[in-house]
Structure 1
Amino acid sequence: MRLLLIEDSAELAKWLAKALQGSGYAVDMAHDGQDADHLLFTQTYDAVILDLELPSMDGLTVLRRLRARGSTVPVMVLTARGELSDRVAGLNLGADDYLAKPFELSELEARLHALIRRAHGVSAPLITLGPLSYESVGRTFTLGGATLALRPKEHAVLEVLLLRGGKAISKEKLFEKVFSVDATTGQDVVEIYIHRLRKQLHNSGVSIITLRGLGYLLEAT
């Protein structure tokens, strides 16, 4: 899943981005409000982590402009402000959740994934497709009852395909969702990960098929 992390503290942003990337997310970063507003206008994200105290444009203004453009991307407000009035202001402007600093990384990831799951219309924590199961709270895959060992990017690609709910996704869109905007690799890297996943899923009853002109589709065979 592709995230935008908007945080003015470069040290905190770097630490948090590294932790989220280790969990399989593609993370873009912005350290001020104007850069964040530009990225939100030009790029597509699965979720946004937004600090309120930002230079050049404060977080509430970023949020207000985002919702005024009709975007429904889930937004988690992450800030040192703990006052009730700040929480209410953010929620009234369209924030989906609120987490005050300091926080536990495990809680942030759990809340973040719940937001993404709901945005994809998935209410149950367990998603199944044939013998493939995905426990979305712990973000673990099992295949035929056995844990499926995946590298972070492999996990991210399979997660995107499963959450599509039987709809195809293009190579371009899959690249956008799994790799950050400053990725040095090209879109052909998607084919490498699709190949690796096909080997993992071989003869399992679940396969990734290629639909000409549409992209990739995960289906039970």
Structure 2
Amino acid sequence: MIKILLVEDDEACAYTIQGGLELIGDYAVIRAKDGVEGWSLYCTEKPDVVVSDIEMPFMDGGELLKKIRADNPSVVVIMESGKTTPKSVVESLELGADDYIKKPFIAEELHAHIQAIFRRLHIRTNENQEDSPATVVRIGKYRFDVHENMLEIGMQTIKLTDREANILQMLYDRKNTIVPRKEILSSFWKDENDPFHSRSLDVFISKLRKYLSFDPSVKIVVTRGKGIRLID
């Protein structure tokens, strides 16, 4: 059963969506009428998915999304709105939304969006129990699929080479701490003392910095004589 927090100030709309999702059978729906109540329920209920309107009283959907992402970069968040201008869509995605759906919509449409996200993130549901465990992590505003070697931010997707992905995963696994340069070299090259391999590592780090440059909060810092650190 997937626990959904539905944050919607239109009571009739919320009732229709909740009823439709529960008829599908895979969902337990918790409702909130505004962002303040939504944040409170998010903290107590820890939902698997948050579906939130954007324009709401007291706390709008954008502010709610910021708070959720600060608490949990991985929970699935879908923003809904009657507005689908490029600006509104981009703003939601840049804040960390996984998807954007235009109102009005039916429960089956929302269900399809949720299942598509879960398939992409390799999250297990009642419909895909044979799928592999989750292999997607967040690095700042990026999603890093360690299985597919993919970095995603907003509508942009970057395909990494195996070596790039492996180095990034190593840095991510020990993020905010310095990983000794020799340890990285010995993990991916046979001769850690070969100057050519050391220069190759510098090239890979330069490429990863470029890929991650769309989020200024994410940095790869090289400390001379010590090692390399991913700051997230």
Q: TM-score w.r.t. structure 1 length?
A: 0.54
Structure (1 or 2) with the larger CA radius of gyration: 2
Q: Which residue of 2 aligns with 1:51?
A: 53
Aligned-pair CA distance for 1:104: 4.0
CA offsets, 1:54-97, max 9 Å, x none?
A: 11100000001111123411111111111111111100000000
Equivalent residue for 1:13? 14
Which residue does the alignment assign to 1:84? 86
User: Which position in structure 1 is the counterpart of 2:62?
Assistant: 60
Task: Point out which structure has higher relative CO (alpha carbons under 8 A, 6+ apart).
Answer: 1
1:83 counterpart letter in structure 2: T
Q: TM-score, normalised by structure 2?
A: 0.51
- Cα distance in 2, alignment partners of residues 63 and 55 from structure 1: 15
What is the aligned length? 131
Shift in CA distance, 100/34, structure 1 to aligned 2, threshold 3 Å: same
- Equivalences for 1:152-167 in 2 at 5 Å? none
Deviation, structure 1 residue 119: 4.2
CA contact (8 A) 2:21 2:108 kept: no
CA-CA distance at 1:4 after TM superposition = 0.6
Distance (whole Å) between structure 2 residues aligned to residue 88 and residue 75 of structure 1: 14
Q: Which residue of 2 aligns with 1:28?
A: 30
1:73 is matched with: 75
Note closer, same or farther for the CA distance 1:70–1:104 as it changes in structure 2 (3 Å cut).
Answer: closer
The aligned amino acid for 1:44 is: K
Distance 1:164 1:2 in 2: 20
Unaligned runs of 5+ in 2: 134-232
Cα distance in 2 for partners of 1:79, 1:46 equals: 21
Q: Which SS does the other structure have where 2:84 is aligned?
A: coil
On the 8 A contact 1:80/1:101 being kept in 2, the answer is yes
C-alpha offsets along residues 13-43 of structure 1, whole Å, 9 cap, x if unaligned?
0111011011121000001110001111222
Matches within 5 A, 1:75-154: 75-121=77-123, 136=128
CA distance in 2, matches of 1:47, 1:93: 16
Give the 3-state SS of the residue equivalent to 1:94 in structure 2.
Answer: coil
Q: Is the CA contact 1:74–1:119 (under 8 Å) kept in the aligned structure 2?
A: no
Distance 2:131 2:7 in 1: 25
Percent of pairs identical after alignment?
Answer: 36
Matches of 1:10 and 1:38 in 2, distance apart? 18
Task: Give the secondary structure class of the aligned counterpart of 1:75.
Answer: strand
